[in-house]
Chain A
Amino acid sequence: MPEMTYRDALNLALKEEMRRDPSIVVWGEDVALYEGSFKVSRGLLAEFGEERVLDTPISENTIIGVAVGAAMGGLRPVAELMTVNFALLAMDQIIDHMTKIRYMFGGQVNLPMVIRAPGGGGSQLAAQHSQSLETYFMHAPGMRVAYPATPADAKGLLKTAIRDNNPVMFLEHELLYNSKGEVPDDPESLVPFGKCDVKRSGTDITIVAYARMTILALQAAEELAKENISCEVVDLRTLAPLDAETFVASVKKTGRAVVVEECWKTCGLGGEIATRIYDGCFDSLRAPVRRVSGLDVPMPYSRKLEKLCIPQVADIVAVVKETMAAKY
């Protein structure tokens, strides 16, 4: 398998799918001529031309709304929001329209569309540009939400997203674009939605994470192994559908769980996952489920403060150790 970056894996997924299906169109701010602000759409304009790869005005709500209409009209749009922060300007089309149209109209129409949105914190972009909004999208029924951690998952999940007949919010972590990994080159190798991936097997404790938090969890697991704590790291991969079966099975085996989430703690997805664990295997738990979360504050710019707001490897290590030491 060739090694490539998360960015190139996404790029390859777009190219392969666009070659396969001429109804796929791509648009967003600076995606065509500029090739994307994170260069994920590099080479698309050159290969597929300006009929299929289009720059839009800075009009997020309409970027999504036009994609909704185009999907209704028989195309498969992949709309890019320059960053997930700007999804907040498009929440009306996303939540009020995209996720409701199928149901509200009695299942008579499908919206096969994808919204790609880079996000997450850690680059000192301050309060308006560092948000982790994944929970916002999970909260609304009617769309899928994917958030890959590795280049292989990035490629496989994006291809599944494009082929899915439902609207998909496809989140990408800005700090993972340069990360590298092996990626299958078979264009028919897809990663299914609704299937967690056990990224590391272990016996003492389960760490449930997603996207960049999976990478940090794996680093924490590596450190903890040196102290003879065996962690199983379960990567959610899709937040909706949420594959509780896999992480519950893992916790049944280990008896302990820590959830790592980059988003704000209050009403964050970690609460949902903890509840699913309690529902699914309360009897097997040997300690309460703990959460390592983003701090409930708007992101400060100063790098010294920013670091405190985003889960770090050391935080995961500490909470795992506390959970292991807890006696009940």
Chain B
Amino acid sequence: MKETSLRAILPDHELVRMYEQMVLCREFEESCAEQYTKGHITGFLHLYSGQEAVAVGSTHALHKDDYILSAYREHAQAIVRGAEPRRVMAELFGKATGICKGKGGSMHLFAPELAFMGGYAIVGGQFPIAVGLAFASKFRKEGRIAACFFGDGAVNQGTFHESLNWARLWELPVLFVCENNAYGIGTSVERSSALADIHKRTCGYDIPSVRVDGMDVMAVHAAVKWGAEWVREQNRPYLIEALTYRFRGHSMADPGKYRSAAEVELWKARDPLPAFAIRLIEEGIVTQAELGAIKQESIAIVQEAVTFAEESPWPEDGSVWEDIYA
């Protein structure tokens, strides 16, 4: 079967934009690793390298005002939604110019003006919040849906099941997107879930679902496009399970010894960036030279972000008492 041509799906400029964002996210994350090693970024740092197709494919299939929520591996989700890389980097440095004034750090990005409703570090914490946002949207007849991203490890929290039931019962527009990267820290899906086919776990709640190749940005885009429109029209939840992989350890502190080198190599061979680049070239949407320019441009953006973060001031001591109450 011949694949549908990319041009039949999206205009050239958007396809190129998607590729640019995937490259930017990769460069951003790799730079974070370097800044962590230098001691500029501290605390927990969970990188997204390998999973870019999910954030980029999804975000381009959602409306700009649809809510997005995620866990703690969320730099890319925020940046693709429109957060400035320099302000995200400044947050990671703990500087006053950070997207949350240095109070949140890597795991807690937030940008309400972009409908990016947060990175949460308690596994499963975001599920009911997404349901609540969907309720508010429906109540106020805003027509926005809540896209809730989470990992494969999160589906064994009570909040996952309670939120699925709730969203279906109250008929709320929530799009659940599971980024199944095969592990929750060192525990594989098979070792933590009685039913490893995560998308099938919605059947107890009468919620339809689908599994997609999370290394293929256009497959994710297609699934989210369809799913989001269904959710919007039906006012009902839907779940997408995207099969993906993180190229690095769980966090910078994890050497990742529980995965064989062969397994990691197998997934790296399916790297979503070159896979998409090849299709763009094959269809004549970009040239090899343009790909090189995109990479250089991303490196420049990330370098500028690091310089901005380095040169930014630390928060004032007094700010520790600010923002507690409205």
Contact = CB atoms under 8 A, between A and B. Distances in A.
B5 interface: no
Interface residues of A, number: 34
B278 interface: no
Contacts, number: 113
A33 B102 contact: no
B317 A308 contact: yes
B285 interface: no
B102 A300 contact: yes
B321 interface: yes
B102 A305 contact: yes
Contact of A33 (B108, B153, B258): B258
Give the interface residue-count category, chain B: 35 or more
Contact of B157 (A59, A127, A300): A59
Interface stretch (A118-126, A154-162, A187-195, A282-290): A118-126
Contacts of B125: 128
A124 B258 contact: no
A61 B186 contact: no
Most buried by A among B103, B154, B191: B103
Interface string B106-121: 1110000000000011
Contacts of A269: none
Contacts of A56: 192
B190 to A, nearest CB: 11
A34 B103 CA distance: 31
Please report whether the interface of chain A is mostly helix, strand, loop or mixed according to DSSP.
Answer: loop
* Dominant secondary structure of chain B at its interface with chain A: loop
Given A30-B187, A89-B122, A305 B319 contact: yes
A58 interface: yes
A58 B42 contact: no
Contact of A126 (B108, B185, B258): B108
Interface string A263-275: 0000000000000
A302 B104 CA distance: 8
Contact of B103 (A58, A89, A123, A302): A302
A302 B94 contact: yes
A58 B94 contact: no
State the 10 A-B residue pairs at the shortest beta-carbon distance, nearest first: A301-B105, A302-B94, A34-B186, A124-B43, A57-B156, A302-B102, A124-B42, A128-B121, A300-B103, A57-B192
12 contacts: A55-B192, A59-B156, A124-B94, A125-B43, A125-B44, A129-B107, A300-B103, A300-B315, A301-B105, A301-B108, A302-B103, A304-B94
